[in-house]
C-alpha cells in the first residue's frame, strides 16, 4: 500500500456493530422486549419474516467475535448496549443483563481493544413505548437513569461513550414513515421525537460527566443534500431536507439553537426552557455516519413532505441500491468544519460501509472486491478531508459480521466477515484481509 495516504500516528481504526442486529438471545437473563421485537412480530414488517431471535448469537459467542477483532488489528470497537437488557420493565436495574457487557468489556480490554459503547441504537424497551415512547418527554429522563446504571457498571474501563445513534433515522424511519420500529406514520408530527431524543442525549451527557466519563460523543448520520436541478424549487427542496436531516440534529447540540423550522408548519411547544442548555453541553467528539448523498426535487403540490427524493444515476450502486459516492464523505466532513467552525469538536467516522451479497465460493473464499474498492475509496476520502484541515480522529467500518439488517432481515450484507444464517459460521472475507493489512501498514 505504498501509494496509500498516511494517517496521523494516533488515528484510530475500528469497526462498529449494534446490539439488536447481532446479539440474539432476546429472552435471556431478564431481557425485556424492545420495540424491534414487537415490530419484527408484525406480519409483513420484515422482509421474508426474518427475526433477530438468534441472528449472530453474539450474546453467547462474543469471545469468537473479539478474537476476530483481534485478528483484524483494530484498536477500537463500537458496539451498543441493549437498553432492554439493562433495565427491567418495572424500571429496576437488571444486573444479569449488565453482566454480559461486563464480560464483553473485559474481553476487549484484555485484547487491547478500546470499547466504545453506544447507549441507544434504536432498541427502545417496549414498556417505555407503551407509555408513549419518544413522544413522551419522560422517556428522556428514563434514558438518563439507564445511562447512570450502565456507566456505574463498566465506566471504569470505558474512555469514550456515544449517547445516541442516528436520531434522524430513528425519527424518520420509525416514527414518520413507519418503515422501522415502532412503525408509526406521524410524518412531520414526529418532530417531538427528535427533540426528546436530543433531550435524552443532554441528560445522558450530564450523567456521564457526573460519573467521570473521560469522553462523550453523539453520532449523527450525514448525507449531503443535492438539488436535482439548478432550479429554485429544487434548491429550496434540498435546503429544507438539509434542515431536517443535518441541522435539526446538529445545530441544537453545537450552537444551542434550532434552525428555522417554519417550513414544516409545526408547533415547537415541546421545547421547554432550559432544554437547549442541556442539549448543547460541550462534547468531546461528533460521530459521523456516512453512506451516500441524497438528491432532492420539489415535491408535488399535494405531497405530505416539502421535498421528494430522486435517484442518483450514473454512478455504481450497492446491493442496497445506494449510490457509491466517496467524494460525498469528504464534502460532509469539510462542510461540517465550514458550517460550525470553532464549535465543531473532533470528528469520528463512526459508520461507513456497504452491502454486497458476495458469498463463499467452492473453496470457501469470499472475494468481495466491490467492498474493498468501496472502503479504499472512502478511506482515501477521509484522508483528503484531513489534508484540508478537518480534525478526524478515527474511522470505523460498518460492520464486523453480516447481520440482521433491520427491515431487510438477512438480505443485506455489510460485514467484513461472512455470516451463515443457518450454521452461524463466520468466514472472514477478502475485505477483512484488506482492512487488516491497511491497519498494519498504517502502524509501521
Question: 161: closest CA among 197, 120, 110?
Answer: 120
166 is catalytic: yes
Cα-to-chain-centroid distance, residue 170: 10
Helix, strand, coil in percent for the chain, rounding step 5: 45, 15, 40
For residue 22, what is the enclosing H or E element? helix 19-22
Positive or negative torsion for Cα 181, 187, 192, 197 = positive
Q: Are 191 and 182 in contact (CB under 8 A)?
A: no
Q: What torsion do the CA atoms of 29, 32, 35, 40 make, to the nearest 10 degrees?
A: 50
Q: Which of 166, 184, 370, 405 is catalytic?
A: 166
What is d(CA 158, CA 290) in angstroms, rounded to the nearest whole number? 25
Question: 395: closest CA among 411, 403, 384, 406?
Answer: 384
Full DSSP string of 188-213: GGGHHHHHHHHHHHHHHHHHHHHTT-
Count CB atoms within 10 A of the CB of residue 409: 18
* Distances from the Cα of 245 to the Cα of 2, 269, 333, angstroms: 38, 20, 15
3-state secondary structure 55-81: CCCHHHHHHHHHHHHHHHCCCEEEEEC
Q: Are 29 and 82 in contact (CB under 8 A)?
A: no
Q: Which of 23, 184, 351, 405 is catalytic?
A: 351
Full DSSP string of 243-307: IIIIIHHHHHHHHSSPPP-GGGT---TTPPTTHHHHHT---SEEEEE----EEEEPPPTT-SSS-
What is d(CA 306, CA 67) in angstroms, rounded to the nearest whole number? 48
Catalytic residues: 166, 351
Amino acid at each position: 500500500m505504498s501509494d496509500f495516504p498516511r494517517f496521523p500516528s494516533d488515528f484510530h481504526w475500528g469497526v462498529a456493530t449494534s446490539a439488536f442486529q447481532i446479539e440474539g438471545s432476546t429472552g435471556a437473563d431478564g431481557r425485556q422486549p424492545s420495540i424491534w421485537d414487537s415490530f419484527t412480530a408484525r406480519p409483513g414488517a420484515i422482509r421474508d419474516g426474518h427475526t433477530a431471535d438468534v441472528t449472530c448469537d453474539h450474546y453467547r459467542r462474543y469471545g469468537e467475535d473479539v478474537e476476530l477483532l483481534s485478528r483484524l488489528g483494530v484498536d477500537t470497537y463500537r458496539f451498543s448496549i441493549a437498553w432492554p437488557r439493562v433495565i427491567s420493565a418495572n424500571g429496576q436495574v437488571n444486573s444479569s443483563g449488565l453482566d454480559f457487557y461486563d464480560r464483553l468489556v473485559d474481553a476487549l480490554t484484555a485484547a487491547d481493544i478500546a470499547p466504545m459503547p453506544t447507549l441507544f441504537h434504536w432498541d427502545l424497551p417496549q414498556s417505555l413505548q407503551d407509555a408513549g415512547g419518544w413522544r413522551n418527554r419522560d422517556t428522556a429522563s428514563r434514558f438518563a437513569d439507564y445511562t447512570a446504571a450502565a456507566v456505574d457498571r463498566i465506566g471504569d474501563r470505558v474512555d469514550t461513550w456515544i449517547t445516541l445513534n442516528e436520531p434522524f433515522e430513528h425519527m424518520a424511519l420509525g416514527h414518520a414513515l413507519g418503515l422501522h420500529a415502532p412503525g408509526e406514520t406521524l410524518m412531520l408530527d414526529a418532530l417531538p421525537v427528535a427533540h426528546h431524543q436530543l433531550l435524552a442525549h443532554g441528560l445522558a451527557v450530564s450523567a456521564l460527566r457526573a460519573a467521570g466519563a473521560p469522553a462523550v460523543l453523539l453520532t449523527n448520520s450525514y448525507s449531503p443534500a443535492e438539488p436535482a436541478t439548478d432550479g429554485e424549487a429544487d434548491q429550496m427542496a434540498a435546503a429544507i431536507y438539509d434542515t431536517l436531516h443535518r441541522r435539526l440534529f446538529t445545530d441544537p447540540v453545537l450552537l444551542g439553537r434550532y434552525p428555522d423550522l417554519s417550513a414544516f408548519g409545526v408547533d415547537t411547544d415541546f421545547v421547554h426552557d432550559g432544554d437547549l442548555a442541556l442539549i448543547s453541553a460541550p462534547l468531546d467528539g461528533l460521530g459521523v455516519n456516512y453512506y451516500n448523498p441524497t438528491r432532492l426535487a420539489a415535491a408535488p403540490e399535494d405531497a405530505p413532505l416539502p421535498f421528494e427524493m430522486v435517484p442518483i444515476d450514473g454512478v455504481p450502486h450497492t446491493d442496497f441500491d445506494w449510490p457509491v459516492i466517496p467524494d460525498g464523505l469528504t464534502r460532509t466532513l469539510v462542510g461540517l468544519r465550514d458550517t460550525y467552525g470553532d464549535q465543531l469538536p473532533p470528528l469520528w467516522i463512526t459508520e461507513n460501509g456497504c452491502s454486497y451479497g458476495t458469498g463463499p465460493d467452492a473453496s470457501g473464499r469470499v472475494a468481495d472486491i466491490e467492498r474493498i474498492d468501496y472502503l479504499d475509496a472512502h478511506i482515501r476520502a477521509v484522508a483528503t478531508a484531513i489534508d484540508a484541515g478537518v480534525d478526524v480522529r478515527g474511522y470505523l467500518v460498518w460492520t464486523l459480521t453480516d447481520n440482521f439488517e433491520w427491515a431487510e432481515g438477512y438480505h443485506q450484507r455489510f460485514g467484513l466477515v461472512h455470516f451463515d444464517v443457518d450454521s452461524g459460521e463466520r468466514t472472514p472475507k477478502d475485505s477483512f484481509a484488506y482492512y487488516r493489512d491497511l491497519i498494519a501498514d498504517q502502524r509501521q
